[in-house]
Structure 1
Amino acid sequence: MGDTTGAPQDAQFRYRGNRLGMPEHGPGSVPGVGRRLLGLLLDWLLCLLVASALAGGAPGDPAASATASWLALLVFAIYSIALLTLFGTTLGKRIAGVEVAATGDRPLPWPVAMAVRTLLLCLVIPAVVYDRDHRGLHDRVAGTITRRL
């Protein structure tokens, strides 16, 4: 029968990323949630180790633990903004095989986009609300998408 909505065929959802011109499989395609969570977990653990070392204190000290938690978020933000701006990926994302790329739908300079994306990611909620292309609100606001290496 054909398309009765009047929308161009390319604008219809067929698979994650097709509306953005991305391939369905392989390099450049939209990775699954598991791959992205693995990258995030690896990055968070690395930042937590750095924050714990910076916070010092005796092991098991609740005050040092609380300081390390907040410091880890700050280290994560700085680490993510710096590495995403310079390389488009972080150590954890690289191990998981993903990178962040611009979609061209926002006229933000790359460093600003990475700062906005990271700060929204640190709030958590924007990252867990995502569309059919698996773009979280943090990616949509920054004009970015996560893709496979």
Structure 2
Amino acid sequence: MARWIDSWLPGSSLGPSDAAVSGYPGEQFGLPRDGVGAAAGFWRRFAAIAIDWLLARLIALLFSSQEIYDGFTSPESPWTVLAVWFGLTVVSTAIFGATPGMTVLGIRAASIDSAAVIGVPRALLRTVLLALVVPPLVRDADGRGWHDRAARTIVVRTR
């Protein structure tokens, strides 16, 4: 039985190579080229995470006992924001398949194995890898980062 990481390795027989993947992102999953259901682009995904981070920052400030100015310069503030972002991302992705930022931009994380929802374990894995920053930047021909590949998801457009 092959390991799940084998599909990430170059030359692996389990996953399609970049040459084997045809013309557009998501085609191997049966997604359309454009419009609803198509694979979401990098910049839309980047903007969604920026919106989520800003929202987490605002929520962290609401629950902070410090003044607003001090909240932006407090040494523990980045960890508080990370914790709020992490919880917001895991819960909303597990239940709805999309974070607030993803919803605003019309995208969502869909399971590649036709599951109705992603669920908590896969959302947790996806968010942990997303928080590490590098996994989302290393993308395959379908635009899926390591976090999407590990969680067996693909981000698609909803409008």
TM-score, normalised by the number of residues in structure 2:
0.79
From 96, 107, 117, the equivalent of 1:87 is: 96
Residue type matched to 1:98 in 2?
I
Residue type matched to 1:71 in 2?
T
From 84, 95, 99, the equivalent of 1:75 is: 84
Uncovered stretches (5+) of structure 1, i.e. residues with no partner: 1-6
Match of 1:4 in 2: none
- Compare the two structures and name the one with the higher helix fraction: 1
Match of 2:60 in 1: 51
Q: Which moved more, 1:47-56 or 1:95-104?
A: 47-56
Offset at 1:88? Answer: 0.8
Residue type matched to 2:33 in 1?
E
TM-score, normalised by the number of residues in structure 1:
0.84
Offset at 1:102? Answer: 0.5
Q: Which moved more, 1:59-68 or 1:115-124?
A: 59-68
Percent identical pairs in the alignment equals 34
Offset at 1:64? Answer: 5.8
Offset at 1:63? Answer: 9.0
For 2:36 and 2:72, locate their aligned partners in 1 and report how far apart those are by CA, in whole Å.
Answer: 44
For 1:113 and 1:103, locate their aligned partners in 2 and report how far apart those are by CA, in whole Å.
Answer: 12
Q: Given the alignment of the two structures, is residue 29 of structure 1 paired with residue 38 of structure 2, yes or no?
A: yes
Offset at 1:110? Answer: 2.2
Distance 1:62 1:102, change over 3 A: closer
After TM superposition, which residue ranges in structure 1, 4 or more long, deviate above 4 angstroms?
none
CA root-mean-square deviation: 2.1
Q: What secondary structure sits across from 1:145 in the alignment?
A: strand
Q: Which entry has the higher C-alpha Rg, 1 or 2? A: 1
Q: What secondary structure sits across from 1:14 in the alignment?
A: coil
> Retained in 1: the 8 A contact 2:48–2:104?
yes
Residue type matched to 1:114 in 2?
A
Distance 1:91 1:118, change over 3 A: same
Q: Which moved more, 1:125-134 or 1:50-59?
A: 50-59
Offset at 1:14? Answer: 1.3
From 102, 124, 134, the equivalent of 2:111 is: 102
Offset at 1:60? Answer: 4.2
Match of 2:146 in 1: 137
Q: What secondary structure sits across from 1:12 in the alignment?
A: coil
